A and B are shown apart, each in its own frame.
Chain A
């Protein structure tokens, strides 16, 4: 695979209701060189943070109280300012119908838990490869 020159300073929002999972993702992102991260514990708290601006990438879980990740994804795509924000779903939800729904809602990548650092890296690189290619 072609090495993508990723902006290591890009601002990433990590959304998961479990603090340990947020921490794992944050650590993995840090290992990949991304240190500019923020956290939210569900869609409801994430959305205003995203709307306040400045985020380049969203990593979200699906199953969360309040507002789920799929609803957050739909809200992001429906917001003209956020519509093009790359979104990676990292979730335990593994039904084919769910993956299809996420794809139709405009997700950029889908990682099922449990996952490895390598998978997360690959998916992030793939997403930005496409973004750079204008896809």
Chain B
């Protein structure tokens, strides 16, 4: 096995470094002995080793990139021959839109039912209050006969309507429970998307690691400009607010902060 074949088999960066060092020492040795011909041969070999390793790394990186892109494609529902194949990223967006739609629908359905129930509860309260007034009159024996006849009918109407209204409320409350069934569906969808994000992250980390190896071989240095983040740009709900000092974890802390500002 030639030296170069060994490199195409793939050496770890540490092994490569060690090998280059020993070659370099050998080259110095040749030079000190005045053996220019062999020294130049070693220089040539070092160059070839570097080039081969470089091509190898570029090849691996290209393959990994290709695989990563292929992995981002949707597995389920679309066959490989389907030209209209959509990426799983587009699929994930679609899935999340579905979650938004489902939760919005459930929220509206729930609020519709509450809106329908509130006046019913109000009616029952109102009618009970009226009835109680008549009832108290009766108990204090302040009721005239015609008023008593009215009360008599009033009670019958009240019982009928209250029974119906209680049934409606009962059904509305059950419907509100049913409207929460989105939780199961959206939960599954979100879990799938979370899994996809984890997969994409893993692929990207892999790519970054390989690209880093390439940089070592070529000696390329990157300068990353860190952008100053706008401190007050809208971010939506904060996670783990309790563990952070730059975020308030509730209305009490907002109130404290505002009062410290003179509010």
Contact = CB atoms under 8 A, between A and B. Distances in A.
Interface of A: 18-20, 23-24, 27, 62-64, 68, 70, 92-101, 103, 110-113, 115, 119
Contacts of A94: 237-238, 241, 247-249, 254
A36 B249 CA distance: 32
A94 B240 CA distance: 11
Given A18-B104, A95-B238, 20 more contacts: A20-B104, A20-B108, A24-B111, A27-B114, A27-B115, A62-B234, A64-B234, A93-B235, A93-B236, A94-B237, A94-B254, A95-B246, A96-B248, A96-B257, A97-B246, A98-B231, A98-B232, A99-B257, A112-B250, A112-B251
Interface of B: 104, 107-108, 111, 114-115, 231-232, 234-238, 241, 246-251, 254, 257-258, 261, 263
Contact of A95 (B108, B114, B247, B250): B247
B242 to A, nearest CB: 11
A23 B111 contact: yes
Given A63-B235, A98-B232, A111 B251 contact: yes
A117 to B, nearest CB: 13
Given A24-B111, A119-B251, A95 B235 contact: yes
A95 B111 contact: no
A100 B238 contact: no
Contacts of B235: 63, 93, 95
B263 A112 contact: no
A92 B254 CA distance: 12
A60 to B, nearest CB: 12
Nearest to A24: B111
B238 A19 contact: no
A59 B114 CA distance: 23
Nearest to A110: B254
A95 B258 contact: no
10 contacts: A20-B111, A23-B111, A62-B234, A68-B234, A94-B241, A94-B247, A96-B247, A96-B257, A112-B251, A113-B237
B257 A20 contact: no
